[in-house]
Chains A and B, each alone.
Chain A
Amino acid sequence: MFGYTMTEIGSIVVMQGFAGLSLFSVLLLMALGLAIIFGQMGVINMAHGEFMTVGAYTTVFMSKVAVQYGWVGSYFMFAIITAFILAFFLGYLVEYLMIRHLYKRPLDTLLATWGLSLVMQQIFRSTFGAKEVSADLPEWLLGSFKPTPDIDIPINGVLVMGLSLIVTVSVYLYLYRSRGGLRIRATMQNRIMAGAVGINTKKVDRFTFALGCGIAGVAGAAFTTIASTGPTTGSLYIVDSFMVVVFGGAASLFGTIASAFGIAQAQSILQFFMTSSMGKVSTLMVIVVILMMRPEGLFASKVRK
């Protein structure tokens, strides 16, 4: 077939399937934090990408320290946890200083957080330098896993996939199966009633926003294995993140997962058969058309307005 043997075509199908899944987990990991902040809280956080960058720089910094003390093989897990904690507290601070004053003014939030993203980019640039840096990755993260001689499964892709699975399950369990999650959902659905039954809604807001930022930090840490870390890295991810969340239907976690899966598969298959740019453009066109027909996104939650 087309001058290729069946084995070659078989292995390409397997690797292409993996490429799609890998893109899916990247998009999902990118969008999860935003699904909480934008989807649940309705805050248009343009600085979301910069929280990912915080996570990425944390990883790079930890890797430098790890190289110094010779524990390169095992720092990565600590880096992910540290990235979460740092981004979480930064998010907590940002909510306290800025976001909480703007809940009733969504468009101003857009401007304010965009401004915040510029400020953060310049802080990264002044602190870490304008040049892109790279984390020293442990040996076990490099290279590929080969089930047959023709098939290469990138190990970093497997890592991102695993991480994305863990984070998604944790977010789901927290939001829908814990008392904390119940408080968050109650506050987001009806703030006044939630307050009336004794939930400290301000505290919930702060925690929710920080949680979203923390997840962004984890995403940023994971992405150091597949892409670059520079002051403007975050801006590479922000558009895709919003796209996934909006397309999935803002308030639905399941929508976010489905939309990340749909976009990733469409993009990766189209990019294989067309050129890379055309594949991306076609995917965006399909999204635009679907959003015109379903303005609320794929899975709009049925809420009385």
Chain B
Amino acid sequence: MSKLNRSQPLKKLSFLATAVAVLGITSAYAADYPTAKVNTTGLAVTDSTVTVGILHSATGTMAISETGSIQAEKLAIAQINALGGVLGRKIEVIQEDGASDWPTFAEKSKKLLENDKVAAVMGCWTSASRKAVLPVFEKDNGLLFYPTFYEGLEQSKNVFYTGQEATQQILAGLDWIAKEKKAKTFYLIGSDYIWPRTSMKIARKHIEQHLKGTVVGEEYVALGDTQFGSVINKIKLKKPDVIYAAVVGGSNVAWFKQLNAAGLDAKKQTMLTISVTEDEVLGIGGENLEGFYSAMKYFQSLKNPNNEAFVAEFKKAYGEASVIGDVTQAAYLGPWLWKAGVEKAGSFDVDKVAAALPGYEFTAAPEGYVKVDQNHHLWSKLRIGQWRKDGQADVVYESELIAPDPFPKGYQ
């Protein structure tokens, strides 16, 4: 990391210009953008630095999931700094720990925005934490880049959503499995909180109205529940063509282990899940997942030059054994999109960046081309990955670019 964080003397313009030209990314020099002009709202911007915040849970139950996001955001920032920063200013990071506790998230976001005057915040993971900080960001006019795929039904001037909203993740995946596996009957199972419940509502509507299929069971298990014996027996009795699953956290591991132990492996049962990324596979174990499908916009095994470079850099920074899941990649987009917005606006002012970013097309994303929509979500593709024993996925299907639709008509 230290290599990437080394100070870049601004005088070495020619070197920078070459680097910039080679990578095809527009950059600019601090001298062309006087601080008084690019920062009219009193943000933490000096002639040579700009401060952004990172707000995730580094401790508590959510640290399992959020660690990857923190790593990806820091990597992106280090890379941006190595390229000369944003408007010629090096990014400095203030990292706060939300500690898996929603009031703490609100308090820390207040601290970042009001005391530290950060120009943007990369952060949050669960919807609960995002909902907790949203009023703070709207009141203090901050800028949040939120990485997780989530249930939708939200749009704010102060937030950019770099993960998929529910319809982007659900509809194309269901279409694929219905067509490919001739699936007619579905069993829906999820953890008992807002994201799985909203997702299953959308899935059920889509199955019943568009695919003309039947939902033979819909089930929610308490967060943290590790006993699936009865649920698995119910599934055995109903014999659905497809299990559609959104189980999270510790329950997820227990779910797959017990499913396999009960004889329901991929040879006997088709399952499509929207809650398993490479991160989860570490805990579940590839042998328990082999052959099942995940619907995500990103898999570490994606074959394109952007992704290969990204994976190599990530492993260099965090070790050969580290894996990259869907949300980690989405978190990596945050700093890059913010930089693009600032450069397009020629200003760090939140209103100007928020106005400039929609319409921006980011071609260097590891997942491939993405576009920022007017509704602050991203246009992206959906991929279906089939898990291998080694914990990586073979991408078996890739959709067209899907427009984000956080308030889907007919699905609520």
Contact = CB atoms under 8 A, between A and B. Distances in A.
Do these two chains really belong together in a complex? yes
B64 interface: yes
Interface stretch (A77-85, A201-209, A222-230): A222-230
Q: Which among A26, A134, A272, A279 has the highest number of chain B CB atoms within 10 Å?
A: A134
A69 B155 CA distance: 54
A268 B230 contact: yes
A8 B280 CA distance: 34
A276 to B, nearest CB: 4
Contacts of A188: none
Q: Which among A125, A133, A228 has the highest number of chain B CB atoms within 10 Å?
A: A228
Contacts of A16: 229-230, 233
A143 B231 contact: no
A130 B59 CA distance: 8
B362 interface: no
B67 A130 contact: yes
A131 interface: yes
A230 B230 contact: no
Contact of A131 (B64, B230, B262): B64
Q: Which among A8, A20, A26, A130 has the highest number of chain B CB atoms within 10 Å?
A: A130
A190 interface: no
Contacts of B283: 131-134, 228-230
Contact of B225 (A152, A235, A280): A280
Interface string A113-131: 0000000001001000111
Interface string B260-303: 11111000000000000001101111010000000000000000
Given A132-B282, A144-B263, A226-B261, A232 B230 contact: no
A19 B237 contact: no
B131 interface: no
Given A131-B64, A268-B230, A279-B230, A227 B254 contact: yes
A143 B260 contact: yes
B236 A130 contact: no
B229 A20 contact: yes
B250 A230 contact: yes
B257 interface: yes
Given A134-B253, A231-B63, A226 B233 contact: no
Interface in B352-384: none
A63 to B, nearest CB: 10
A154 B261 contact: yes
Given A134-B285, A228-B254, A268-B229, A12 B236 contact: yes
A277 B284 contact: no
B82 interface: no
A271 B225 CA distance: 12
Interface string B56-67: 001111011011
Contacts of B284: 134, 228
Interface string B63-87: 1101100000000000000000000
B262 A154 contact: yes
Interface in B195-223: 218-222
B253 A228 contact: yes
B226 interface: yes
Contacts of B64: 130-132, 230-232
Contacts of A152: 236, 262-264
Contacts of B237: 4, 8, 12
Contacts of A137: 285
Contacts of B250: 132, 227-228, 230, 232-233, 236
A226 B226 contact: yes
Interface in B224-244: 224-227, 229-234, 236-237
A23 interface: yes
Given A132-B253, A132-B283, A276 B261 contact: no
A229 B220 CA distance: 22
B230 A156 contact: no
Interface residues of B, number: 44
A177 interface: no
B29 to A, nearest CB: 40
Interface string A130-159: 111110110000111010000010111100
A164 B225 CA distance: 20
A225 B236 CA distance: 21
A302 to B, nearest CB: 34
A221 to B, nearest CB: 15
Contact of B282 (A15, A122, A133, A280): A133
B169 to A, nearest CB: 22
B192 interface: yes
Contacts of B253: 132, 134, 227-228
B233 A227 contact: no
A4 B234 CA distance: 13
Contact of B233 (A12, A125, A225): A12
Contact of A125 (B63, B232, B236, B254): B63
B95 interface: no
Contacts of B257: 156, 225-227
B193 to A, nearest CB: 11
B48 interface: no
B67 A131 contact: yes
A259 B221 CA distance: 22
B76 to A, nearest CB: 20
Interface of A: 4, 8, 12, 15-16, 18-20, 22-23, 26, 122, 125, 129-134, 136-137, 142-144, 146, 152, 154-157, 223, 225-233, 235-236, 267-269, 271-272, 275-277, 279-280
Interface of B: 58-61, 63-64, 66-67, 192, 218-222, 224-227, 229-234, 236-237, 250, 252-254, 257-258, 260-264, 279-280, 282-285, 287
22 contacts: A130-B67, A131-B282, A132-B280, A134-B284, A142-B260, A142-B261, A143-B261, A154-B262, A156-B257, A156-B258, A157-B229, A226-B226, A228-B226, A228-B252, A228-B283, A232-B64, A235-B224, A236-B250, A267-B227, A276-B219, A277-B220, A277-B221
